[in-house]
Amino acid sequence: QVQLQESGPGLVKPSQTLSLTCTVSGGSISSGSYYWSWIRQPAGKGLEWIGRIYTSGSTNYNPSLKSRVTISVDTSKNQFSLKLSSVTAADTAVYYCASLQMGGAFDYWGQGTLVTVSS
Amino acid sequence: QSVLTQPPSVSAAPGQKVTISCSGSSSNIGNNYVSWYQQLPGTAPKLLIYDNNKRPSGIPDRFSGSKSGTSATLGITGLQTGDEADYYCGTWDSSLSALHWVFGGGTKLTVL
């Protein structure tokens, strides 16, 4: 069974870049069976999709975040990563990584990691 | 404001049935599969329904999904107190000149 684990700083200063990594275990990120995705959730609010990447490096991003987001994949480490630039307090949220079925459904999720943007 | 519209809250008594609606448009639900997620307090979301009406292994048949036109519905029968959670629908959207995923705003289920 695929397992995902987010890691990265829990505190980021305004205007800086948020960087998170998701480590995949129990399966190869290069298998081609999934897209790999980032989703976030501000406290007390709903889910917001950030973007996805395929093993080839092909990406799709949320149009509202596209100018600030980069998702990359490192197949040698079985990891994929998120970079969100020029962060503000509005980017404070729990960030989840998840596997995305080809047909369109997030079937495996990480436990989530809280990132707070504050000086 | 979410592209997919869900009721903010629903409630029902233990043992009863409840439905949660998810309304969209032709750019999302109308032309794509819908999935549903359950988020218990303090935990990550969990996939309940995919491809409109399919249940992953381990999801009881008390949970069901359906889609008609530009709307989808999640049904839960035999309600249990453990079903109290937030429920989200989601699908692809092809508006804004780019394919992107959208979630509904979420529905809080209270089992009275």
pLDDT tens-digit map of B21-49: 999 999 999 999 999 999 999 999 999 99
Distant-in-sequence, close-in-space partners of A84: CB < 8 Å, separation ≥ 6:
A17, A18, A50, A65, A68, A69, A91
Residue A70 pLDDT > 90: yes
3-state secondary structure B21-62: EEECCCCCHHHCCCEEEEECCCCCCEEEEECCCECCCCCCCC
CA B37 to CA B106: how far, in whole Å?
A: 9
Residue B61 φ/ψ, nearest 5 degrees: -75, 5
Q: How far is CA A27 from the centre of its chain?
A: 18
Instruction: Report pLDDT for A32.
Output: 82
For chain B, the average pLDDT equals: 96
Is residue B24 a contact partner of residue B1, using CB atoms and an 8 Å limit?
no
By C-alpha distance, the chain A residue nearest B32 is A104
Q: State whether residue A25 sits within 8 Å of chain B by CB.
A: no
Residue B96 pLDDT > 90: no
For chain A, the average pLDDT equals: 95
Q: Residue A80: pLDDT band by 50, 70, 90 thresholds? A: very high
Is residue A80 a contact partner of residue A28, using CB atoms and an 8 Å limit?
no
CA A57 to CA B78: how far, in whole Å?
A: 44
Instruction: Report pLDDT for A12.
Output: 98
Q: Give the pLDDT confidence of A45-54 residue by residue, as tens digits.
A: 999 999 999 9
With a pLDDT cut of 70, the percent of chain A lying above it is 100
Residue A64 pLDDT > 80: yes
Least CB–CB distance from A47: residue in B33, B50, B88: B88
Instruction: Report pLDDT for A1.
Output: 87
Interface test with A, best of B96, B101, B102 (most A CBs within 10 A): B101
Region B80-97 average pLDDT: 94
Is residue A107 a contact partner of residue B50, using CB atoms and an 8 Å limit?
yes
Instruction: Report pLDDT for B97.
Output: 77
Q: State whether residue A63 sits within 8 Å of chain B by CB.
A: yes
Q: Which residues of chain B are within 8 Å of residue A103 when distances are taken between CB atoms?
A: 33, 50-51
Instruction: Report pLDDT for B56.
Output: 95
Residue A67 pLDDT > 80: yes
Beta bridge partners of A59: A53
Instruction: Report pLDDT for B98.
Output: 83
Region A18-28 average pLDDT: 96
Instruction: Report pLDDT for B1.
Output: 78
Q: Order of strands, edge to edge, in the sheet holding B63-68? A: B18-23, B71-76, B63-68
By C-alpha distance, which of A79, A83, A49 is closest to A63?
A49
Interface test with A, best of B100, B102, B103 (most A CBs within 10 A): B100
Distant-in-sequence, close-in-space partners of B111: CB < 8 Å, separation ≥ 6:
B11, B12, B13, B14, B79, B80, B81, B83, B84
DSSP for A17-79 reads: -EEEEEEEESS-TTSSSEEEEEEEE-TTS--EEEEEE-TTS-EEE-TTTGGGEEEEEETTTTE
Burial grade of A81 (CB within 10 A; 0-12, 13-18, 19 or more): buried
CA B54 to CA B61: how far, in whole Å?
A: 10
Instruction: Report pLDDT for A41.
Output: 98
Region A27-31 average pLDDT: 90
Is residue A22 a contact partner of residue A36, using CB atoms and an 8 Å limit?
yes
Q: Give the pLDDT confidence of A85-99 residue by residue, as tens digits.
A: 999 999 999 999 999
Instruction: Report pLDDT for B95.
Output: 87
Instruction: Report pLDDT for A31.
Output: 86
Residue B61 pLDDT > 90: yes
